[in-house]
Amino acid sequence: MTRESNRSGIAPPSPGIRDVSRVAGVSITTVSRVLNNSVIPSEATRRKVLEAVEKVGYRPDPLFSAALRRHRSGRGVEPVKTKTIGFLIMRGLQEAAHRRHEDYYSRVLSAVWNVASKQRYHVMFAEVDAGESRVPDLVAENRVDGLLVEAELSAALRKVLVHRLPTVFIDRTYADLAADAVVTDYVQAVTDVLGYLWQLGHRQIALFSDTVDRFYNHESLEGFHRFYESRGLPLLCPELSQPQDIHPEINDQVIDAYLTRLWSTKPRPTAVVAVSNVYAEFMLAHLAKMRRVVPRDLSVASLNDLSVTDIPVHPALTSYRASMDRIGASAAELLLQRIRDPQRPTFRLLVSGRMIERASCGPPPDTSELDLP
């Protein structure tokens, strides 16, 4: 049926646009146009072509099309795509996950695949190092139409990527970059976790956030304040809920000082909520050193269940976990939308999840010690 009809039986040549044009009785130009909607063809022609496509089982060779359009597309005409999106994951994040036998990153990827494949997109997978500044191969080689980024790239690279390709960031947003993002809903997270602690009897609760200009700090603080306001209560220990000046190198000292301060506050908080698991885990380690028993002496919770430290955690941390399936699916949707319409305004999509009750929270230590309002 196609060209020379295969005598060998090996690698049957797939039908080309030429086969379609022959069967449809139109020029290959017309076939191409029907398939790409560049010029609107007559309804009759369109039908003829589509029928022929069906009949010969034609699938355009996306590699050729993509390569061609990339170089020749004039303004106005939307360039054809590789029909592939890239999923960039940070090596550190993922190795940490593996160390802990965590599956979240494969869940995100799986959700991405489900959405992408339904729209006949392919998914390319790549790992990048934290702080990466080189353009990843799949971008340099124009292999993808868009990018899902679950990695902390260098500021320069971020800018290059966003400029060059539709890009959706997962679990991170950047004030200086107009790009889509899918992030955990930290307002929801802090609200749920505080509600849980409240119900256990806690009234004096501190929020441990940091001074980095990241959405999770702002949002959890906002949720924190809202929570207390909605209950008509003043913040009981506002200085302990101020963002802390902390970076990886000084985690130890800052947490140490913080807990010492906490313990000398009167009335002292009976629970601490840390914006990230990393901080919460450092706290558990320090509390163990201080011979404090969690949750008997202090309840500890975290707003982000994604752990990246090597610290052995005991007791298991009660925390909030965004739905990985929804994060992956939403990110993919957002990206495919943007590929279709690069002009649409950027979105930031908040995904909520659920609290995971583990062992690090319990009733407050001693009700008599508390200044109940």
Partner DNA sequence: CTGAAAGCGCTTACAG
251 binds, among a copy of itself, DNA, none (CB under 5 to 8 A by kind): none
Count of C-beta atoms within a 10 Å radius of residue 301: 30
Task: Name the minimum Å distance from CB 262 to a copy of itself.
Answer: 32
Binding residue for a copy of itself (CB under 8 A) from 53, 109, 332, 351? Answer: 109
28 binds, among a copy of itself, DNA, none (CB under 5 to 8 A by kind): DNA
Task: Name the minimum Å distance from CB 259 to a copy of itself.
Answer: 31
Task: Name the minimum Å distance from CB 36 to DNA.
Answer: 5
Query: Should residue 123 be labelled a site residue for a copy of itself when binding is judged by CB under 8 A?
Result: yes
Q: How many residues bind a copy of itself (CB under 8 A)?
A: 44
Q: Which is nearer to a copy of itself, 66 or 287 (CB)?
A: 66
- Yes or no: say if 298 and 365 are a contact pair by the CB < 8 Å rule: yes
Q: What one-letter code names the amino acid at 99?
A: R
38 binds, among DNA, a copy of itself, none (CB under 5 to 8 A by kind): DNA
Query: Should residue 143 be labelled a site residue for a copy of itself when binding is judged by CB under 8 A?
Result: yes
Which residue stretches of the chain are H helix? Answer: 17-24, 28-36, 43-56, 62-72, 91-99, 104-118, 137-140, 155-164, 186-200, 215-230, 251-264, 277-289, 324-340
CA angle 40, 41, 44 (to 5 degrees): 140
Q: Which is nearer to DNA, 83 or 172 (CB)?
A: 83
Task: Name the minimum Å distance from CB 193 to a copy of itself.
Answer: 21
Query: Should residue 134 be labelled a site residue for a copy of itself when binding is judged by CB under 8 A?
Result: no
Binding residue for a copy of itself (CB under 8 A) from 38, 45, 142, 265? Answer: 142
Closest CA to 262 of 226, 227, 237: 237
Binding residue for a copy of itself (CB under 8 A) from 164, 231, 247, 289? Answer: 164
Closest CA to 39 of 47, 29, 48: 29
What is the residue whose two structure tokens read 């230590």? 365
- Residue 212's contacts (CB-CB under 8 Å, 6 or more residues apart) are none
Give the span between the Cα atoms of 101 and 290, in whole angstroms. Answer: 29
Task: Name the minimum Å distance from CB 342 to DNA.
Answer: 15
Q: Among the candidate windows 44-52, 103-111, 172-180, 248-256, which touches a copy of itself by CB under 8 A?
A: 103-111
Task: Name the minimum Å distance from CB 53 to DNA.
Answer: 10
> Residues for the chain: how many in total?
373
Strand partners, 183: 350
Query: Should residue 124 be labelled a site residue for a copy of itself when binding is judged by CB under 8 A?
Result: yes
Query: Should residue 322 be labelled a site residue for a copy of itself when binding is judged by CB under 8 A?
Result: no
Task: Name the minimum Å distance from CB 66 to a copy of itself.
Answer: 6
Query: Should residue 81 be labelled a site residue for a copy of itself when binding is judged by CB under 8 A?
Result: no
CA distances to 25, 183, 198, 229, 354 from 131, rounded to whole Å, are 55, 19, 39, 39, 30
Instruction: Establish whether the linkage from the previous residue to 315 is cis, with ω within 30° of 0.
Output: yes
What is the residue whose two structure tokens read 């003043």? 234
Binding site for a copy of itself (CB under 8 A): 10-11, 13-14, 59, 61-64, 66-67, 71, 82, 84, 87, 94, 97-98, 101-103, 105-107, 109-110, 113-114, 117, 120, 122-127, 137-138, 140-143, 163-164
